[in-house]
Amino acid sequence: MKHLTLRVRLAVVLALALAPAMALAAVGAWEKFETAAAAARLLPQAVSGTALSSATQALWIDSVLLLLAFLAALVALSVAAQRWCLRPLRPIQEAAAAFASGNFTPPRPTGSMTPEMAALTSDIFSLGAAIGAREADLRASLQQREHMLREIHHRVKNNLQMILSLLNLQADKVRSPRVLRLFGDAQNRVLALSILHQHLYERSDWSSVDFQAYITDLVSHLSARRSRRDKPAVHCTVRASVMSVGPDTAIPIGLIVTEAVSNAFSHAFVDAVSPEVRISADEIDGEILVAIVDNGSGLGGTGEVLEGRQLLGITLMRGLAGQLGGSLDMAASPGGGTRVELRFPKPRPQIGNGLAATREAPGPAAG
């Protein structure tokens, strides 16, 4: 019964409503037939058969008339139900479908309808108008929130750029190479944060940043800062799964890449003819593997074993890897140079779609 349409249910109800009257009419026709048959039996034999035949014929006629009357009543009631119940529901159903699709101003149904249907129609359209007003308020609030977030990221980026400019001005007055190198490291870290906020306010999705574009842009800026006429340009390649990572993941990765690339620029390419840095990010068994590889002098090229020294950069990278719930390893690359590997669990929700992409980070032209 629950799968029957409203039209079928109304027909069943109407049939049940007419059934008692039809039963009484059938009983009356049968009693009439029995009375005529009893009277025919009392007649002489010559006319008794004719009278009984006439009574039987009258019973059939009464049965057919009852059936026709039942069908006529059922049709009349069905037409009335269609006219006053089902037809007014159709525009109400169309209006509800329009509300569900986001159109809160569908045309109101016209024509006469019962007071109950008119009240139901008024309630449905009042509900749609209330939902439409609420959605308009939510959209306005969302646009205001997006504007505020965009403005916040933009101002944070501008403030970081101002800090970077102040560090540049102060570094111009420094004569010690060691202190100047420390200033450069601090500038690169501020630069990584500044580029991240730039990518955040340029995206419509505030909860994530394009990992490929962010790392490529970051390495390009680091390469441009390192540009010197007396040294060959470093060729930087970024190959990563096309990921969207949240700021909480992008900040540690960006700082780790900054430390590894800056260290390669500063120490690895002292005598390199064609210096190169390759950065890759892949998903392996539910983990994200980020590798930074250079073709420089390696860990022991200058007599320093970096793993055994508590340098600020290495300490910072290990701390950032722990923040991601992962680990960081540094080792000599099989082809020469240094390989820094960062492994951490894949964040939820998923940050990649498994499609590989390769971008060349534009480096400065060799002088």
In degrees to the nearest 10, what's the CA dihedral of 321, 327, 331, 336? -70
The per-residue pLDDT for 303 is: 38
Residue 46 has pLDDT above 70, yes or no: no
pLDDT tens column, 208-230: 778 888 888 888 888 887 666 55
Q: Is 351's pLDDT higher than 60?
A: no
CA distance 79 to 86: 10
Cα–Cα distances in angstroms (integers) from residue 294 to residues 234, 260, 291, 337, in the given order: 10, 9, 10, 5
Task: Compute the radius of gyration of the chain from its Cα atoms.
Answer: 43
Residue 309 reports pLDDT greater than 80: no
**Per-residue confidence band for 206, with pLDDT thresholds at 50, 70 and 90:** low
pLDDT tens digit sequence for 317-343:
899 999 999 999 988 877 778 889 999
- pTM of the entire predicted model: 0.58
- The helix (H) or strand (E) run that includes residue 163 is helix 115-171
Cβ atoms of 196 and 254 closer than 8 Å: yes
Residues ≥6 apart with Cβ < 8 Å to 78? 10, 11, 14
pLDDT of residue 226: 67
**Other Cβ atoms closer than 10 A to 251:** 19
Of 215-219, 303-307, 308-312, the least confident? 303-307
Cα–Cα distance measured from residue 319 to residue 326, given in angstroms and rounded to the nearest whole number: 10
Please state, in angstroms and rounded to a whole number, the distance separating the CA atoms of residues 190 and 270.
Answer: 25
263 C-beta neighbours (distance < 10 Å), count: 22
Contact 243, 211 (CB under 8 A): yes
Name the 3-class secondary structure at 270: coil
- Among the ranges given (144-153, 164-173, 204-213, 320-329), the one the predictor scored with the smallest mean pLDDT: 204-213
Q: How far is CA 183 from each of CA 163, 187, 309, rounded to the nearest angstrom? A: 12, 6, 20
Supply 308's token pair.
């055994």
Nearest-10 crossing angle of helices 312-323, 247-263: 160
